[in-house]
Structure 1
Amino acid sequence: MFCGRLGNSVLAGYGMASATINITTAATGGGLGLAADTLISQTFGGKNLRRVGIILQRSVLILLLFCLPCWALLINTQPLLLLLGQDPEVARIAQLYVVCYLPAVPAMFLHQLQVAYLQNQGVILPQMYAAIAANIANVVTNYILLNWLDLGLYGSAAANTVSQVYICVFLYLYIRWKKLHVETWGGWSCDSLQEWDGYMKLAIPSTMMLCFEWWIYEVGGFLAAALAVLQGLVLASTKTVIGFLFTSDGHIVALVSKLLNVYCVLQFFDGLVAVERAGKRKISSVSAPDTLTARHRENGDEYMNMNTNGRDEEPGVEEKPPALLSTAQLVLRRGLTTIAALFILAVGIVVHLTVPLPEVSNAVRANTTLDSNFTTPSSFYIPSTSISS
């Protein structure tokens, strides 16, 4: 709404940054967090309230570690976009937005877990209150940074990051204020370091399911942007009059209006997510390669594998609870996991600092710098390929 007033290139860069974050971070982290949905809902239903807090702690630790490989990929957004044929200026702006967004990645994951924690206990209104407060604060922040302090692109990127932190902090403060955590939170416990394998048995297929769903939408944005900046803006706008909230370019709004007529029909199929919290993701991922599912025992203690051939297990037959890891095993396994995540981040930083940006051909430059009139600006210089005699 605010960055669109800074120009088409800024809006395109913001759209590319959003798509990059969605594909590489939001979809994957969101999939990992879906395991918490299933575990918390079934554990709370089994009246094992204190264990709900343990599951939340385990989810927090796993997702905070997952931030490190996400950062390793995000800091290399610009070269990745250039390799995909994006406009250099759009890729540069997208890199700025993404780098500024790095501190907001943990807040995004934590907010997702907060929502799962409350929603699966039947507590809904606090999320609405926090969202309203965060949106108001976001508008005020954008106005101050863009209109009052006139920080332009940098102010827009900073406001985008702070907005994600707002909603996480506001929801946390509301939970503490209303003491919504008292019954289920018994304080931090070493038990949260146990049973990561069982958590990942749910998290991995959940991630695959969510990634394939999100990538279907986002890949279209990358392909459109590879044709031209103007077409790439389509997926970052909305329909008809609402589109003018994001940009004053009538050509963009008209294109979006046509595309969203088709998109609206797809919302019907989002009803398939109703089975997620039952742990039966096979139903909602028929078109995705999901063959691993799990069902949580009613007391919320352990897992019981589901039969992947579609038939229910024999009644009364349950797997033995997994043996708990010793302190030495916990230190070794969780330590190696942390080291691996830090190593991936270090590799990403080294690549960012040492690998030069890919070369962009003149054909790509000429194709991706169209203005709102579908013409290349006269100030854009393309070297001649003719041989002078």
Structure 2
Amino acid sequence: MGTKVFVEMRKQLGLAGPLIASSILECSLQTISVIFVGHLGELSLSSSAMATAFAWVTGFSVMLGMAGGLDTLCGQAYGAGKYSMLSIHMQKAMVVLVVVCIPIAILWAFSGQILLGLGQDTEISVAAESYARMMIPSLFAFGLVQSHFRFLAAQNLVLPILLSAGSTSLLHLLLCWLLVYKTSLGNKGAALAISISHWFNLLLVLAYVRLSPACKETWIGFSKEGLHVHGVLEFIKLAIPSALMTCLETWSFDVLIILSGLLPDPKLETSVMTVSLNISSLTFMICYGFGTAISTRVSNELGANHPKDARLAVRVMLSLAAVEGLVVGLVLFSARNICGEAFSNEREIVESIAKMVPLLAFSHIMDGIRCVLSGAIRGCGKQKIGAIVNFVAYYFVGIPTSSLLALVFHFRWKGLWAGLMCAFLVQDLTYGIIILRTNWEKEALKASGTV
């Protein structure tokens, strides 16, 4: 048993390491832009932060979530040895995601009016709309990149994902410096840099999938079967609940941004919440990498009809996530007095962030457990259950508690985050119960196509 645990741990670290690094690098595109813009002034920071939040809540989270349907389809197909199906599944995803991008792009074009309708500051809303419009091209590239990343991850081809994300981040640093500080674009230059970087990332991953011998068996070229109505519906049935799993969670974070705009000092409160979410998002990418890795491991083992190995994979990954959570939480707490300085020169913002970081450190521990359990649920194809859990956790527990603590009891941004942590706790407990009650033998039979 000890040998199996060691072998499983080595597999998971080999998967999770590059996935964590690539997730952090990919997330860093938004964060790098906010950092560059933050030094232009409080309005630039708050408006770009508002636009970034709006873009995530209405677009990027939808793409990320819908692509999660490939975690199940590609992962189980690869485990079952049905290699050509990975190409077909990815083509379905690409078609669906591009179509979904069109109405989202229209929404972004009128984001300023929407933010004003939600009661946001006029000056912030107008500037946020200009920022969001410059990011529209990035939306289409992001959806296609996510489809390719899931296709590669299902085959355990994670190093190309890391190299692509790393190259893109380096380019993005240069672009932000040039477009923000060396042109008259200002904060809009940071948004344009995001669009250029995402398209560069897409070109890199397209070249690898179509030219690499590693994808020779799984990439069969474009096929009519990938456009078959039945096959597209098969993807949509998983993609919609998968998107809801991601979006219901992501939307709750952005509701906090909107709520922070209703507090007495909206520019300060919005800036503090945005910087906190950026810090949390960066550390969350470690957990997200664990979640993607366990989703791959579970779906591969279920597709290969190895239920005991799938169950063992979940237990090992939970142990790794718990250790990582404690380590990163301690690092965050130790660096609490300097975290804010990376995002702003405003002393009040920096001091407020220092007070918020202990809460971020504690919530990161819960993030790791939640991501592993939700990743296992995606690997089993139980996205519908996950969507229900997230809806209850955030919209019946988290957001009402945040609103009460921040707006009624006047705990401001601390109250907003404390309510969110209540939602994390509900998720962790409910996901844990679901995984404990999972019939792994039955799931393996379904995934391997023997029933």
> What TM-score, normalized by structure 1, do the two folds share?
0.71
Query: Would you say 1:274 and 2:274 are equivalent positions?
Result: no
> 1:132-170 deviations in whole A, cap 9, x for unaligned?
111110111112223333432332221132222232223
> 1:297-353 deviations in whole A, cap 9, x for unaligned?
xxxxxxxxxxxx9879989998xx9xxxxxxxxxxxxxxxxxxxxxxxxxxxxxxxx
- The 8 Å contact of residues 272 and 284 in structure 1, kept in 2 or not, is answered as no
Q: What amino acid is the match of 2:341?
A: F
What aligned pairs does 1:243-254 form with structure 2 within 5 A after superposition?
Answer: 243-254=340-351
What aligned pairs does 1:256-275 form with structure 2 within 5 A after superposition?
Answer: 256-266=353-363, 267-268=367-368, 269-275=370-376
Alpha-carbon distance in structure 1 between the residues aligned to 2:120 and 2:78: 47
Helix, strand or coil: the match of 2:125?
Answer: helix
Compared CA separation, residues 176 and 253, structure 1 to 2 (3 A): farther
Q: What amino acid is the match of 2:374?
A: V
> 1:86-141 deviations in whole A, cap 9, x for unaligned?
11111111101111111111111111111101111101111111111111101111
The residue that corresponds to 1:59 in the other structure is 93
> 1:198-226 deviations in whole A, cap 9, x for unaligned?
22211121122111111222211111023
Alpha-carbon distance in structure 2 between the residues aligned to 1:30 and 1:11: 25
- The 8 Å contact of residues 248 and 387 in structure 2, kept in 1 or not, is answered as no
Compared CA separation, residues 110 and 316, structure 1 to 2 (3 A): closer
What aligned pairs does 1:97-246 form with structure 2 within 5 A after superposition?
Answer: 97-194=131-228, 195-227=231-263, 228-237=266-275, 238=279, 240-246=337-343
Count of residue correspondences: 301
Measure how far apart 1:264 and its partner are.
Answer: 2.9
Question: Comparing 271-280 with 64-73, which one deviates more in the overlay?
Answer: 271-280
- The 8 Å contact of residues 50 and 128 in structure 2, kept in 1 or not, is answered as yes
Compared CA separation, residues 98 and 311, structure 1 to 2 (3 A): same
Question: Comparing 269-278 with 83-92, which one deviates more in the overlay?
Answer: 269-278
Compared CA separation, residues 282 and 261, structure 1 to 2 (3 A): farther
Compared CA separation, residues 289 and 88, structure 1 to 2 (3 A): closer
> 1:194-252 deviations in whole A, cap 9, x for unaligned?
22222221112112211111122221111102321110011322454232222111211
- The 8 Å contact of residues 226 and 232 in structure 1, kept in 2 or not, is answered as no
Alpha-carbon distance in structure 2 between the residues aligned to 1:316 and 1:173: 34
Q: What amino acid is the match of 1:54?
A: I
Compared CA separation, residues 133 and 313, structure 1 to 2 (3 A): closer
> Which of 104, 112, 126 is the equivalent residue of 1:78?
112
Alpha-carbon distance in structure 1 between the residues aligned to 2:387 and 2:216: 36
Q: What amino acid is the match of 1:273?
A: S
Helix, strand or coil: the match of 1:103?
Answer: helix
Alpha-carbon distance in structure 2 between the residues aligned to 1:137 and 1:312: 44
Higher relative contact order (CA 8 A, sep 6+): 1
Measure how far apart 1:261 and its partner are.
Answer: 1.9
Alpha-carbon distance in structure 2 between the residues aligned to 1:171 and 1:102: 20
Compared CA separation, residues 192 and 174, structure 1 to 2 (3 A): closer
Structure 2: which 5+ residue stretches go unaligned? 1-34, 280-335, 393-436
Compared CA separation, residues 311 and 171, structure 1 to 2 (3 A): closer
What aligned pairs does 1:17-96 form with structure 2 within 5 A after superposition?
Answer: 17-96=51-130
Q: What amino acid is the match of 1:271?
A: V
Alpha-carbon distance in structure 2 between the residues aligned to 1:190 and 1:273: 33
Flag the structure with larger Rg: 1
Measure how far apart 1:285 and its partner are.
Answer: 4.6
Helix, strand or coil: the match of 1:6?
Answer: coil
Q: What amino acid is the match of 1:256?
A: I
Give me the identity figure in percent.
Answer: 27
Q: What amino acid is the match of 1:250?
A: R
Kindly report structure 1 stretches of 4+ aligned residues shifted beyond 6 Å.
Answer: 309-318
Q: What amino acid is the match of 2:44?
A: V
Alpha-carbon distance in structure 2 between the residues aligned to 1:257 and 1:183: 51
Structure 1: which 5+ residue stretches go unaligned? 291-308, 322-389
Alpha-carbon distance in structure 1 between the residues aligned to 2:443 and 2:359: 46
Compared CA separation, residues 140 and 317, structure 1 to 2 (3 A): closer
Alpha-carbon distance in structure 2 between the residues aligned to 1:317 and 1:132: 38
Compared CA separation, residues 52 and 315, structure 1 to 2 (3 A): closer
Compared CA separation, residues 10 and 317, structure 1 to 2 (3 A): closer
Compared CA separation, residues 133 and 316, structure 1 to 2 (3 A): closer
